[in-house]
Amino acid sequence: NFLTADLDSYSYLKKVAVEGHLYNGFNLLAADLKSAKGHCLCF
């Protein structure tokens, strides 16, 4: 669970990408607004 984990959004999405096949279809949007790069990642 991202809200209780100690991971940044990019690390969490990498984990979800590996485990995504275990779930029925889903959409997930994550953003790191504190980052100087301003990444917005979707899976």
Which residues neighbour 5 within 8 Å (Cβ) at sequence distance 6 or greater? 12
Q: Residue 28 and residue 39: Cα distance in Å, rounded? A: 14
Direct distance between the N- and C-terminal alpha carbons of the chain, in angstroms, rounded to an integer:
15
What percent of the chain is predicted at pLDDT more than 90?
Answer: 0
H helical segments located in the chain: 9-19
pLDDT at 30 over 60: yes
Give the closest residue to 41 by CA, choosing from 28, 30, 27, 32. 30
pLDDT attached to residue 35? 63
Rounded average pLDDT over 7-23 = 85
